[in-house]
Structure 1
Amino acid sequence: MPLKPHIDWLSDPEIFAVNRLDPVSDHIAWPSAEVAAKGEENPFRQSLSGRWAFRLARCVADRPAGFHARDFDCSGWESIDVPGYMQLQGFGENQYVNTQYPWDGIEALRPPQVPEANLVGSYLRDFTFEKRAGTGRVVLTFDGVETAFFAWLNGAFLGYSEDSFTPARFDITDLLEEGENRLAVQVFQRSSASWIEDQDFWRLTGIFRDVWLEQQPGLHLEDLFVTTDLAEDFSAAKLRLRLKLAVQGEGASIEVALSGRNGEAVVAPRRFDAAPEMDLVFDIAAPHLWSAEAPNLYDLSITLIGADGQTVEFVPERVGFRRFEIIDRVMHLNGKRIVFNGVNRHEFNPVRGRAVTYDDMLFDVRFFKRNNINAVRTSHYPNQSAFYRLCDEYGLYVIDEANLESHGSWQKDGAVEPSWVVPGDRAEWRAAVIDRARSMLERDKNHASILIWSCGNESFGGSVIFDMSNWFRDRDPSRLVHYEGIFHDRRFDGTSDMESRMYARPQDVEAWLKDDPQKPFILCEYTHAMGNSCGGMHLYTDLVDRYPQYQGGFIWDYIDQALALGDGVSDRRLGLGGDFDDRPSDYTFCTDGIVTAWRQETPKVQEVRALYQPFDITPKRDAITIRNRNLFVSSATLLLKIRLLKDGVAVFSTALDQEIAAGETATLPLELPGDLAAGEYALQASLCLRQKNAWADAGHEIAFGEHVFTVEGAPVMPEPVSLELVRGDLHLGVETPGYFALFSDVFGGMTSLKAGGIEFMHRPPRLTFWRAMTDNDRGRNHGFDHAIWQMANLHAKRGPVDFDMNGDEPVVRYRFPLPGVPVVPEVAYRVGRDGLIHVKADFPGGEGLPDLPIFGLQFTLPPAFDRFRYYGLGPEENYTDRCRGARLGIFERSVIGNLSPYSVPQECGNRMGTRFAEVTDDKGRGLRFVAEGAPFEFNALPYGTMELETAERPEHLPPVTKTVVTIAARQMGVGGDDSWGAPVHEPYRIASHQPLSLAFSVAPIG
């Protein structure tokens, strides 16, 4: 390979690493155990992160010539943060695309051609170097650079590297000087590697992970491969260490020790003569096994000792003993069938892009643990090493995914067309693809959390990826290999050890599981979490107990990829694809997370946490049955908390000790207070942490169950009130001791409801047949298929009005002919002697109509009524296909706080099973709505349906001028199998040929 850099390397897929050192494990070497224990900066390592001099060129021809010379004058250059991205610091433009290539329609290219429009960032860093005594070699490491770069040190060419997400290491020993040095790096936005880095993310450029150099002693541990071979009955293990050492001179030795989780010696220090390659095996009795439930880690200590008996280098490593394998076509961890309650995770921060911080990673890991997520797929590239260490420590199962995706080369607008797919069967791409596998595995191989190597994502199939999978198996038989793309190219079905699918409907998954499958099955992406989504997720998780080969899935995805437009404190606006004038763009498809870009929980988390909970809790009035779904740990660390609510108010609570072994079910007797008064009761049982741990406080709820029952009793009849009626030419006025109501012939409803001098009716109530479309609605062309209901919502006409004054209580009936709809719904108001206005809305049903999105009434109140309290399912929003995580209770919220933090405004804030709701001002004055017969669905928002539907971003919503209360008989589910065509499942749709009725009362309060 020539040592003189050449720009043509950018377009040559066979040149991807020049002068780059072989990848090695990510262990950390220290001068001694004492230095390592201090937790201070590592004397062997010198960070080169910080402010660098920087110059942007818009194309390759304009890049600064000779900038890498040591005496180059960069005094007029700007500066940039490393780690960081060029575009996010004002150099170049942000662009988001999903499956397509970012240059599509701009330049006509085919692999491996490189676009003319190719940003080039030239970086300079001056630093001082002081050589330590005993240093044998100095290595410079770039932990991550997108997408290709050349590097020089003190004017001499160092090397070239592609693969954005694994380290590039260079030997700089002979080029370093004592004192001042200059490092020059030129980063290119596009290269041949861009064809296989077509992930669903923002296309960013720069040195986005740390840069550092390491002074390695002459006696140095270069590589470590730890494996744990467990006995068949798991009663013993062999700890195997395969080491590569740099050894200068004779007489050096290596000392190995292993201590347990409480510091006890498991392997007493043993010394061996040092050699360039060593293979050491230690017998371990009764090891504590590692799992996500019990992440038992042992402390391995490797000390390199010079001929003089002095410590030269100390390497600590954490070791987890576990075995992962397929038994009878089912994946097993430590002999137990495993289920992945997983999520896909992009590295992302709204300010820093993929240059995430340690705090970001720590937040994510703790969030996963608190919300019963036990597995992560690193979509779609290797993450920072620190993330895997956290997964080891906290306990998460990881699919580690290679940096490979070529989606745009074989799929166009959903159609599979692989005529020029890369890598496919193309020999010229084989070495680069295998290199990416090798770089990931060699760095990450010692992490107990990693159970599966993944051959990348959405790159079709072919022999090259098949060869990649076999390379994984040959190098590391202790793990399995994953690749979803075999679904598209069955020629190489052996590429993946498991059948992996994306967004298959639950019915299709079940059909596959019933057809004598020969592999275990996972959904590497499912329940697409774009906007108000994750409906019907339980249809997948319900498969876990019915089919052993169904072993879970990974939600797409964890975090919205939206970029900050403001400071994130006073201005938390976010930009999505297209908001930066980026074209082509896939617009809002960058926001598919269960948390926002600011890591704020969305209501979807409530459902995820419940469906992933590790215990099934079934309360009854005399007992509570608990099934421990864990594989390895009992429930002993948890306290069973019990509450009894009467009509939403707690009337009894207790706590019980219990201990249920992993995989076991137990029924605990329960004694509730006797002589319960008449009313509706909710018996709620929760398993909560007894003590604070690393990821949650004491009392944190792990699992929940509820039983609702009614104690019958004679209803309490209120004293009748007087009614004074005034029938005018166009109105009926009714005066009661508590309020005045006015019903209009002309405007088709209750135009006034006054009490205490306050007018509650900003506008008369209106029938509603339409909800603000969700992202999923838009993706399945819901508007096109159901537009008749939007027209009905907007343009219902007042029909005949019937004033029934003959009885004891006046009744006003309104009929509303609808455009294009051959049925006429009716709304009736009855002013009762009980002091309430009883409202009944009826939809008679009609043939030949599309399903109804919603049927109910909307009340428009003045904006002062800006808070609500309700008795129903909560505390977060819930829908008919996303309510398993909700519970019955009385909950309160502000109206503006009910606007869920979705990146695009849409339907949100719904509450199922509402018995009553109160919408009030700051003095407690307002309206109380009470269900009559069946509970209703309730919502209160500061915007109307069309305001939500037409606003593209939250900041586009108008100033608040009202409160819109929706009382609905039913609303369809939100769906979520995918966001580009999947319908809401049939049980959660509203068939328009069936009649619907809504009955409730309303009256002022306060």
Structure 2
Amino acid sequence: MTAYYEDLSPGTGMRAPRAWLRSSQPKLSLNGRWQFKFSTNPAEAPADDDWDELEVPGHWVLQGYDRPRYTNTAFPFPIDPPRTPEANPTGDHRRWFDLPEDWPRDGAVLRFEGVDSCFKVWVNDAEIGTAKGSRLPSEFDVGAHLWPGRNSLAVRVHQWSSGSYLEDQDMWWLPGIFRDVTLLARPVVEDVFVHADYEHLTGAGILRVDVDPSYARILVPELGLELAPEETVTIPSVEPWSAEVPRLYDAQVVAGGETVEVRIGFRTVAMVDGLLTVNGRPLFFRGVNRHEHDPRRGRAISVETMRQDLELMKQHNINAVRTAHYPPHPAFLDLCDELGLWVIDECDIETHGFIYTDWRGNPADDPDWAPMMLDRMRRMVERDKNHPSVVIWSLANESHRGRNFGTLAEWTRERDPSRALFYERDRSYEFSDFYSLMYTPLDELERIGTRTEDVTIDEPDLEARRRALPFILAEYAHAMGNGPGGLAEYQHVLERYPRLQGGFVWEWIDHGLLLPGATDYVYGGHFGERVHGANFCIDGLLFPDRTPSPGLLEYKKVIEPVRITGPNPLTIHNLQTFGPLDHLEFLWVEEVDGVEVAAGRLEVPGVEAGAPVEVDLPDLTSDVAGERWLTVRAVLAKDQSWAAAGHEVAWAQFELPSRVVEQPDASTEAVEPKVEWGDDRVLLGEGEFDLRSGRLVRLFGVPVEGPRLDLWRAPTDNDNGQGGNNSVAVEWRAAGLDRLEHRVDEVVVEEQQLVVRERVAPDGLGLGVRVSYRWRAVGDGLQLTVDVVPEGEWEGTAITPRCSSWPRIGVRMALPGSFGNVRWFGGGPGEAYADSREAARIGQYECTVDDFQTPYVVPQENGSRIDVRWAELTDADGNGLRVEGAPHFQLTARRWTTEDLERARHRSDPTPAEHIYVNLDLAQHGLGSASCGPPATPQHTLEVAERTFALTFRRTP
């Protein structure tokens, strides 16, 4: 006889799926401390002694039992569907609860919101039923088994089941009862299905509410409505729901003494002329993919954490969520309704691991698996059908092609024709209302936008249908480590073509786990697993503690719903689909050399959705000499549910004509110092150089090391890519850029300049660069000009591959460790790179060297400030070094070397040294998204080529 956890049944004894309802009926939360016993084999029966305790909701692998496992695509068990491994971790849970004599036990329902991956339940020793479908609700009738006073509940949970073959979703495998457990009194109102359409041409609302039982009454006090189930009414004027203006009407469904609270949003989803529309207007998604994750609790996240996520999304201009790759906790969708986000609700199906069998045995194309798959679709749709935020149902993720998706699509369209259907991985798109891809290169995205992409399906009818579909990027811009790069380029293409209706960045949060007592986040491989996805789960726009990463700040800037252009004319563009800009006020500030000299408020007339308006420039009359910038900011005029008044929504900067600074008469300048030779030193101005190497060793009396040419950086996750031809770091290492040797060829004086010539090259190869350092004294400082000329076999040979780019080009030097404060005039306040610089605005900033770092979970190149005009590194008394660019440079400063950073695997690995290591770069290579996507584009590639740059060093005042 097949064990229940290995059969193809969705479960036994479960009630029919229904909507998640807020009811006035009595209920009892069973969350809290449960007794727990762990076993490695499901055949073992728990003994009555030696039970431990465990928190529910929770995962036992995060509470001291067994271990979590992270895989991206591979199943962490042998592929032999529907069988499970003999070693199948099993957790027995039990608890007691008390029911008063008058508690309505008859007809009571026991509800589990989520149990991973299969479980059996007993109440007072009576077996009640079983269920699979980890991220879906399961309900059981238990009234006949309850009694007054003390009752027992036992739940046996198996980590692996036949259902696990449908749950390979690029995530931690975390077994347990991880969502709420609730005992509900008999529901009088069994189910509610709200149909609330909006007629955009007339402004009318059309409302019908299906209710079981049919004798219920539906009340909508604000609209003065009382109606019967299935009665259709037309309200002449309603305010529609949208993600921009999430207008909800409170309603009650009343029957037999029970009141169910429902929130109604009037909106109509339709496919019109090959586009997804809501309320008559095409949507544009500025979205993210979101796994449920908490660094300590895994997927057992609180409602407060859900709200924090959504508030952060709104604060960073995100308007859409794809619930990758399963339905979220139901409270999350309530919050999406309230705060306003478009939702693609994704079914709890992914069979990605079958790529390792070339899709042999894939459940998606096996009719025997159809009941289990359809059960998952039904439970999602029925649970979430009343949420106006849900505009698209997603059938699954990355499960190849299969006839079972036709079954899911047919049922869903019949049950709920008011929403669109989505599935990306079936390249016929036979059952999807969208054409969709992941990590699409920009040139291909352009072709899709113009409907000139290559033929993808051999069947003419399906090909014609696909080509007529709107396009959504299901995933793009892989936010792993330092990145993603290229967000602005993607946004330009997405906004250019109506067929492209936006996309969803992968993904929202790093899945780092923080174990009890630890300070470093861990990822795949930490627990001794042989099959794991390493740090591929560290790929979010938030760090695990929900601190926004530079990538999220970049995304916020790129997807601003208000675009400010100018300055002549200064134009405000409302990029929203529905809402005007009357919730915003527009502020301006004029700065000279990063210092504010004037500020004010712009008078902006009403700007309707999709419209621009020109605005008069403020009176900019400053006569202060220096580099002038105008910054215009759009901020919230009053508090919103997701941010306080003054929160910045959008901004733009414009360089203004600068006032000329009068230069002193050259005839009065002091004569330039001459080069002086010593026994082992060379002196030039206030610089002291080693005679043999020509290296600067003391500057303004301060010991220094360097500067010398640096072409290497600690590779980012996107540099490493996915290995092979998808890794620019592989190319760089093959060219020896990580092991360059410096040979001094000449130290001479030419025209009162100290000139040092070197050849920089790796062992074992015939390529390298010639570099000359030209030092001259300029007034109170020293100017360095660096000339770099590549030579040798950069184009490759029959044995050595071609190397077409460098990680960086600049100089590195070491300063005293006391120089721990940084002040600069340039891009900031955070890090920026060639293809991730939209969020950097020109100004004066300061912080410590320690705060200069970006604390990526896996250390890598970070912290670069771009377009720096000058920077000062000083000690606590303000003494230190000033560096000026000609005109600009990129600045990086840290307490460890690049090599230390490269070796590190966790945040605490780099050990602060006695020095501060400073990189002064002409440029760095772009970031790209090659950890799972395209590399940096050609315009952001730092090509191997001759380069010259100059820096001037001065003493700080």
Length-normalised TM-score, structure 2 = 0.94
Match of 1:53 in 2: 35
Preserved CA contact (<8 Å) 2:874 2:881: yes
| 2:827 equivalent to 1:877 | no
| 2:272 equivalent to 1:319 | no
- In the alignment, residue 81 of structure 1 is paired with which amino acid? E
Choose the corresponding residue for 1:137, options 103, 107, 112: 107
| 2:711 equivalent to 1:769 | yes
Could you give the per-residue CA deviations for residues 495-534 of structure 1, whole angstroms, max 9, x where no partner exists? 1100111111121121222235311001111100000011
Preserved CA contact (<8 Å) 1:880 1:988: yes
Match of 2:55 in 1: 81
| 2:744 equivalent to 1:798 | yes
Per-residue deviation, 1:133: 6.5
Per-residue deviation, 1:126: 0.9
Query: CA distance change for structure 1 residues 134 and 206 in 2, over 3 Å: closer, same or farther?
Result: closer
Could you give the per-residue CA deviations for residues 308-335 of structure 1, whole angstroms, max 9, x where no partner exists? xxxx111111010011111111111111
Match of 1:983 in 2: 935
- In the alignment, residue 775 of structure 2 is paired with which amino acid? R
Query: CA distance change for structure 1 residues 244 and 969 in 2, over 3 Å: closer, same or farther?
Result: same
Choose the corresponding residue for 1:781, options 707, 722, 727: 727
**Where in structure 2 are the equivalents of 1:293-304 lying within 5 Å?**
293-304=244-255
Per-residue deviation, 1:49: 1.0
DSSP-derived class of the 2:254 partner: strand
Query: CA distance change for structure 1 residues 565 and 254 in 2, over 3 Å: closer, same or farther?
Result: closer
Preserved CA contact (<8 Å) 1:799 1:817: no
**Where in structure 2 are the equivalents of 1:826-841 lying within 5 Å?**
826-841=771-786
| 2:902 equivalent to 1:949 | yes
- 227-236 vs 822-831, which moves further: 822-831
- In the alignment, residue 781 of structure 1 is paired with which amino acid? S
Choose the corresponding residue for 1:407, options 345, 352, 355: 352
Per-residue deviation, 1:889: 0.8
Identity of aligned residues (%): 33
Choose the corresponding residue for 1:184, options 130, 138, 154: 154
Per-residue deviation, 1:982: 3.0
DSSP-derived class of the 1:979 partner: coil
Match of 2:430 in 1: 494
Per-residue deviation, 1:671: 3.1
| 2:218 equivalent to 1:256 | yes
- In the alignment, residue 833 of structure 2 is paired with which amino acid? Y
Per-residue deviation, 1:980: 4.5
- In the alignment, residue 383 of structure 2 is paired with which amino acid? R
Per-residue deviation, 1:256: 2.3
| 2:342 equivalent to 1:378 | no
Match of 1:268 in 2: 225
Question: How many residue pairs align between the two structures?
Answer: 924
- In the alignment, residue 29 of structure 1 is paired with which amino acid? S
The separation in 1 between residues aligned to 2:834 and 2:82, in whole angstroms, is 49
The separation in 1 between residues aligned to 2:946 and 2:600, in whole angstroms, is 44
DSSP-derived class of the 1:410 partner: helix
| 2:593 equivalent to 1:598 | no
DSSP-derived class of the 1:541 partner: helix
Choose the corresponding residue for 1:551, options 462, 486, 501: 501
Query: CA distance change for structure 1 residues 131 and 409 in 2, over 3 Å: closer, same or farther?
Result: farther
The separation in 2 between residues aligned to 1:197 and 1:479, in whole angstroms, is 24
The separation in 1 between residues aligned to 2:179 and 2:654, in whole angstroms, is 51
The separation in 2 between residues aligned to 1:133 and 1:428, in whole angstroms, is 43
Could you give the per-residue CA deviations for residues 760-788 of structure 1, whole angstroms, max 9, x where no partner exists? 41x22121011110011112333321126
Choose the corresponding residue for 1:465, options 396, 405, 416: 405
Match of 1:699 in 2: 646
Match of 2:392 in 1: 452
Preserved CA contact (<8 Å) 2:825 2:845: yes
- In the alignment, residue 4 of structure 2 is paired with which amino acid? W
The separation in 2 between residues aligned to 1:981 and 1:627, in whole angstroms, is 31
Per-residue deviation, 1:909: 0.6
Match of 2:129 in 1: 159
Could you give the per-residue CA deviations for residues 665-688 of structure 1, whole angstroms, max 9, x where no partner exists? 011011333363442211111100
Match of 1:893 in 2: 847
- 319-328 vs 844-853, which moves further: 844-853
Per-residue deviation, 1:811: 3.0
**Where in structure 2 are the equivalents of 1:608-619 lying within 5 Å?**
608-619=555-566
| 2:596 equivalent to 1:650 | yes
DSSP-derived class of the 1:360 partner: helix
Preserved CA contact (<8 Å) 1:56 1:63: no
Length-normalised TM-score, structure 1 = 0.89
Preserved CA contact (<8 Å) 2:325 2:350: yes
- In the alignment, residue 295 of structure 2 is paired with which amino acid? P
Preserved CA contact (<8 Å) 1:59 1:117: yes
Preserved CA contact (<8 Å) 2:439 2:932: no
DSSP-derived class of the 1:10 partner: coil
Match of 2:464 in 1: none
Query: CA distance change for structure 1 residues 821 and 610 in 2, over 3 Å: closer, same or farther?
Result: farther
The separation in 1 between residues aligned to 2:167 and 2:662, in whole angstroms, is 68
| 2:78 equivalent to 1:95 | no
Preserved CA contact (<8 Å) 2:904 2:910: yes
Query: CA distance change for structure 1 residues 390 and 937 in 2, over 3 Å: closer, same or farther?
Result: same
DSSP-derived class of the 1:122 partner: strand
| 2:940 equivalent to 1:1002 | no
Could you give the per-residue CA deviations for residues 390-410 of structure 1, whole angstroms, max 9, x where no partner exists? 000000011000000110112
- In the alignment, residue 93 of structure 1 is paired with which amino acid? R
The separation in 1 between residues aligned to 2:622 and 2:161, in whole angstroms, is 77
DSSP-derived class of the 2:430 partner: helix
Preserved CA contact (<8 Å) 2:832 2:840: yes
- In the alignment, residue 891 of structure 1 is paired with which amino acid? Y
Per-residue deviation, 1:423: 2.1
The separation in 1 between residues aligned to 2:669 and 2:677, in whole angstroms, is 22
Could you give the per-residue CA deviations for residues 280-333 of structure 1, whole angstroms, max 9, x where no partner exists? 22221211011110000001122225xxxxxx1111110100111111111111
The separation in 2 between residues aligned to 1:12 and 1:475, in whole angstroms, is 27
- In the alignment, residue 382 of structure 1 is paired with which amino acid? P
Preserved CA contact (<8 Å) 1:114 1:191: yes
The separation in 1 between residues aligned to 2:300 and 2:853, in whole angstroms, is 30
**Where in structure 2 are the equivalents of 1:720-759 lying within 5 Å?**
720-721=669-670, 723=673, 725-735=675-685, 740-755=686-701, 759=702
Per-residue deviation, 1:741: 1.4
The separation in 2 between residues aligned to 1:791 and 1:501, in whole angstroms, is 35
**C-alpha RMSD of matched pairs (Å):** 1.9
Preserved CA contact (<8 Å) 1:836 1:1002: yes
| 2:204 equivalent to 1:236 | yes
Preserved CA contact (<8 Å) 2:740 2:761: no
Preserved CA contact (<8 Å) 1:123 1:184: yes
The separation in 2 between residues aligned to 1:833 and 1:998, in whole angstroms, is 16
Per-residue deviation, 1:828: 2.6
Preserved CA contact (<8 Å) 2:113 2:135: yes
- In the alignment, residue 215 of structure 1 is paired with which amino acid? A
Choose the corresponding residue for 2:914, options 961, 974, 978: 961
Preserved CA contact (<8 Å) 1:56 1:120: yes
- In the alignment, residue 552 of structure 1 is paired with which amino acid? G
Query: CA distance change for structure 1 residues 472 and 140 in 2, over 3 Å: closer, same or farther?
Result: same
Preserved CA contact (<8 Å) 2:864 2:892: yes
- In the alignment, residue 30 of structure 1 is paired with which amino acid? S
The separation in 1 between residues aligned to 2:328 and 2:52, in whole angstroms, is 29
Could you give the per-residue CA deviations for residues 41-94 of structure 1, whole angstroms, max 9, x where no partner exists? xxx110111111111001123332xx6xxxxx44x2111111100100011111
| 2:489 equivalent to 1:507 | no
Preserved CA contact (<8 Å) 2:10 2:132: yes
Per-residue deviation, 1:572: 3.1
